[in-house]
Structure 1
Amino acid sequence: MATVKIVLRKNYRKKDGTFPIALRLTQYRKSKFLFTGEYILEKDWDETKGLAKKSCLNSSRLNNMLLKKVSEAHEMALEMEASEEKQSVSTLAKKILGEDKFDFFKVSEIFLANLLKRKKFDQHYNQEKRLKIFNTFLRRKKLSFIDLDVRLLRGFETFLLYERKVAPRTVINYLMLIRTIYNFARKEYQVDDRNYPFGKGKIQIKFPETEKIGLNVYEVQLLEMAQNLTLAQQNAVNTWLTSFYFAGIRVGDILKLKCSDFKDDRLYYRMGKNNKLVSLAVPDKAKRILNPYTSVKNYKSDLVFPYLKGINLRDEKQVAISVKTITRNLNRRLEIVAEKLGIEKRLSMHIARHSFGNISGDKIPIQMLQKLYRHSSITTTVNYQSNFMHKETDDALEKVINFD
C-alpha cells in the first residue's frame, strides 16, 4: 500500500526564506511529491511530526488543512488498494489531485528557485524578468493551467510584438519558458495535460532564422585606428578588440580575466558557459592593447579590465547581474563609436564573435575553427559558420547570370 507523509521540500527555497510543504507519496519504492501550495520557514517546521510549530502564524489552521490532505490521500490509497489493480505512484498522484489545482506562478517560483540552486544565475535573471512581463500582461497574480490555453498565448504574442515591440526571436524565448514550466508541472506535479497548448495545431515553437552580420576587415581596422574617443569609449573598443583577437571570447569571460591568466605569451582561462579550460596564444595585436592594463597591476590576481573591480567574484549571482549591466554600458559606448566612425552595422560585444566568423570565412579548416570557437561538436561549428561562408553560392549565382 502507498504511504503518505507531509514533508518540507528543502530543494526549493523562495526569496523570503520559506520552503514549500508537500505530500510525499511512496508506492513500490517510488516517490512523488504533491505540493500543497503552502510555504513555511524551516525554523517553524517540526520535522518529526510533519506539522507546523506553534511559532508559525496560523499554525492551527495550517496543520488542520495538512492533516485533512493526508487523510484524503490515505483514503484514496485504500480505495485503489481495494480495487485489486496494481496502480503506480503516478496514477495515485493524479487520483489525489483530480482536476488541475496548481497555479502557474507558484510552479514558476519553484522553477526559478531550482535555477538558483543549480547556480544558473544569468538564466534566472532573464527568466524572472520574462515572467514578470507575462504577469503584467495578465494583470492578475494567479493563473491555473486550465486557463493557460492557445487563445491566451496568442494574445501574449500580440502583446509582445506590437505593444512591447519585442523581436520575433525574443518572443520565442518567452513561449519556450512558458512551455518549460508547463512541462515541469506535468512531470513533477502531475498537472492534467488535456489542455496542453503546445504542439501540432496549437502553439508551435519554431525559431526564425537569425541574421548574423559581423564586421569586415576594413571595419575592424577602423576600430583599431580610432582616435578622438573618450576614455570610456576607448576602453570599450579595447575590450571589443580583445574579444575579437581571441576568436570571439565571450564578454563574461573577458571581464573576469586576471593578469595571472597570462603565462608564457599564452592565455589560459576557463569558459563560464561550459567550464572548459582554454589555452590560446596571445597575438601581438592583443599584447599592444593589454599591456597598458596589465603593466600597472600590483598583483597577478588583479583583473585585466577594471569593470568588476570591487565586486566579490565568489558571489556568482552578483557577478552575473554586474556583467549584464556592464555589457549594456559597453554596448552603448560601442554604438556611439560606430556612429563616429561611420560603421553602419550594429556594434556590440557579441558582434566580436560574429566578426571573427565573418572574416575567417573559408580561410582556415573547419576543424581549426571548431577549436578556436571552443565548440564541443563540429556540427555546431558548421551551422554557425554557414552564416558567413558565401563564396560557393556567390560563385554559383555568378555562373548563372554571367551569360554575356
Structure 2
Amino acid sequence: MATVQAVLRKKRNAQNLFPIAIRITKDRKASFISIGQYIDQKYWDTTNRKVKRSHPNASRINHLILKKLTKANEKLLEAEINEANVSASRIREDIKGTNQLDFFGVAELHLDNLQKAEKYRQYHTQKGRIEKFRRFTGQQTLAFKDISVFLLKNFESYILNQEKRKPRTAVNYMILIRKIFNLAISEGIAERSIYPFGKGKVQIKIPESEKIGLSIEEVKKLENADGLTPAQQQAVNVWLTSFYFAGIRVSDVLQLRWSDFHDNRLHYRMNKNQKLVSLKVPEKALRILQQYKETPSDKNDLIFPYLKGTNFDDAKEKLIRIRTVTRTLNRRLQLAGNYLGIDKKISMHIARHTFGNISGDKIPIQMLQKLYRHSSITTTVAYQASFMKKDADSALDKVINF
C-alpha cells in the first residue's frame, strides 16, 4: 500500500528554515518531492500536516501543498488502475517531470527565502544579478541542462569585456549561479551529472583585491581639518569614529546609542554577524562624542542624527535609510578629501582599510583578528595581506642593496 503525506523535513537551510516536502511511501520505501518552500518550524501544523494560519503566506503555501498532494495521488491511482508495479521514486520522477522548475524558478525561491529572512541587502543585489543573467540569455525560462560551460564563459566575458566590470564582479555572478544550481540539486530538481562547475569546467577563483587605506599623515589632515562645511565636518566625524574603533562598519556607527557606552568602553552587537564587541573608548573618540552629547539626553538616543525617525523594527526601511545616508556621507567625505589635498578615494569603508594600513606589522595577527571581529584568523591574514609590507620590503632591500 502506498501513502502520500506532506511533511516538514529536518534539514534546515542557512536561514534556519525547514523545507516542506511531499513524502511518497510505497513498499516501505520513501521518496520526497520538495515544494520549494521553507518555513520556521513553529509554523508547521504536525497534526494536520499543513502550514498554520499564523504564517503570512499560509494560504498560498497550503494551496501549493494540496496541488502537489493531488498530483501524487493521481499518479498512485493511475498505477493501481493499470495494476502497475511502480516505485515511490518513479512516482516522484513522474511528478517532477510534469511540473519541473527551471533555473529562474529556483532563483525566485532563493530570493523569496532571502526576503523572508529579512536579508534585504542581499535580496536586492542578487535580484539585479539574476535579472542581468536573464537578459543576457534572452530567455524567460532556462532549463538547468542548458546552463553549459560555454554559456557561463560567454556570460563571464560579457561582464568583463562589454560591461567593463572588475574580475571580482564576474566572480560574484558565478558564485550566485552556482548557489542556485546547488539548491536545485539538493532539492532533486537538477541532476549532478549536468553540473557545470568544478575541475575541467567553470572554476571559481576569487581574485586578490588591493585594499587602499589612508596614511597617518592623511588621517591627521582629517583630524585637523579647517575650512570644511558643517556637513563635510560631520561626515569626517563619523569616519574618524569608525577609524578610532578599529574600523567598525558604517551601519554600526550610524546605529550607535549612548546606552552602548559605559565604564569608558563601547559595548555593541555587530549588525553583520551579531557578535558582541567591547572596546576601550580612545581619548580622540571621546572628544568627538562629546560634541554630540545633549543635556539632558536619553541614553537610548542615537549619537549621530542621520537615522533619527527610522523604524528600526522594519529591516527593509532601516537598510534603505542606511544606504542613503552612506552614499551622502561618502560624497561629503570625498569633497572634504579633495579640499584637504588627499589624493585618494575616501569612503566610510576606507576607515577600516586605514586601520589595517596603519596597524601594518605593528600588531600581532591574533590581536587584529579580535579587533576586526573576524571569526577565522585565516580571514584576518587574507585581509591584512595588503597592508603587511615590512617583511617583503626588507627582503627586497637585502637582495638589491649591494
Pair in the same fold by TM > 0.5: yes
108-117 vs 265-274, greater mean Cα deviation: 108-117
Displacement of 1:392 after TM fit?
1.0
Distance of 1:92 and 1:297 partners within structure 2: 71
**Structure 1 partner of 2:14:** none
The answer as to whether partners of 1:73 and 1:96 remain within 8 angstroms in 2 is no
What stretches of structure 2 of length at least 5 have no aligned partner? 10-18, 38-46, 51-58
Which amino acid in 2 is paired with 1:339?
N
**Structure 2 partner of 1:190:** 189
Q: How is 1:204-283 mapped onto 2 (pairs within 5 angstroms)? A: 204-283=203-282
The answer as to whether partners of 1:266 and 1:281 remain within 8 angstroms in 2 is yes
**Structure 1 partner of 2:348:** 349
**Structure 1 partner of 2:160:** 161
Displacement of 1:220 after TM fit?
0.8
The answer as to whether partners of 2:242 and 2:249 remain within 8 angstroms in 1 is yes
Q: Match of 1:209, SS?
A: coil
Aligned pair 1:379/2:401, yes or no? no
The answer as to whether partners of 2:337 and 2:343 remain within 8 angstroms in 1 is yes
Displacement of 1:80 after TM fit?
12
Distance of 2:238 and 2:83 partners within structure 1: 65
Name the CA shift for 1:176/1:90 in 2 (closer, same or farther; >3 Å).
farther
Distance of 1:248 and 1:219 partners within structure 2: 16
145-154 vs 267-276, greater mean Cα deviation: 145-154
Aligned pair 1:33/2:33, yes or no? yes
Displacement of 1:101 after TM fit?
2.8
Q: How is 1:307-318 mapped onto 2 (pairs within 5 angstroms)? A: 307-318=306-317
Alignment partner for residue 72 of structure 1, among 61, 72, 75? Answer: 75
Distance of 2:178 and 2:360 partners within structure 1: 37
Name the CA shift for 1:139/1:213 in 2 (closer, same or farther; >3 Å).
same
Distance of 1:394 and 1:335 partners within structure 2: 31
Distance of 1:120 and 1:356 partners within structure 2: 28
Q: How is 1:97-176 mapped onto 2 (pairs within 5 angstroms)? A: 97-98=96-97, 101-176=100-175
**TM-score w.r.t. length of structure 1:** 0.81
Root mean square deviation, CA, Å:
3.6
Distance of 1:281 and 1:362 partners within structure 2: 22
The answer as to whether partners of 2:160 and 2:167 remain within 8 angstroms in 1 is yes
What stretches of structure 1 of length at least 5 have no aligned partner? 10-19, 38-46, 51-55
Displacement of 1:191 after TM fit?
1.5
Displacement of 1:332 after TM fit?
2.1
Distance of 2:98 and 2:301 partners within structure 1: 58
Name the CA shift for 1:49/1:117 in 2 (closer, same or farther; >3 Å).
closer
Q: Match of 2:213, SS?
A: coil
Q: Match of 1:233, SS?
A: helix
Q: Match of 2:369, SS?
A: helix
**TM-score w.r.t. length of structure 2:** 0.81
Which amino acid in 2 is paired with 1:338?
G
Corresponding pairs, count: 374
Which amino acid in 2 is paired with 1:268?
H
Distance of 2:233 and 2:91 partners within structure 1: 64
Cα deviation code 1:82-129 (max 9, x no counterpart): 47xxx7x76763464359932212211111122233333322232122
Cα deviation code 1:247-276 (max 9, x no counterpart): 010111111111111112211100112211
Name the CA shift for 1:106/1:358 in 2 (closer, same or farther; >3 Å).
same
The answer as to whether partners of 1:2 and 1:77 remain within 8 angstroms in 2 is no
Displacement of 1:193 after TM fit?
3.2
Percent identical = 53
Cα deviation code 1:305-364 (max 9, x no counterpart): 112111111112221232222222222222222222222222111111111011011222
Distance of 1:2 and 1:294 partners within structure 2: 71
Name the CA shift for 1:344/1:66 in 2 (closer, same or farther; >3 Å).
same
Displacement of 1:5 after TM fit?
4.1
The answer as to whether partners of 1:7 and 1:22 remain within 8 angstroms in 2 is yes
Name the CA shift for 1:100/1:338 in 2 (closer, same or farther; >3 Å).
farther
Aligned pair 1:361/2:360, yes or no? yes
Aligned pair 1:4/2:7, yes or no? no
Name the CA shift for 1:395/1:297 in 2 (closer, same or farther; >3 Å).
farther
Which amino acid in 1 is paired with 2:4?
V
Q: Match of 2:35, SS?
A: strand
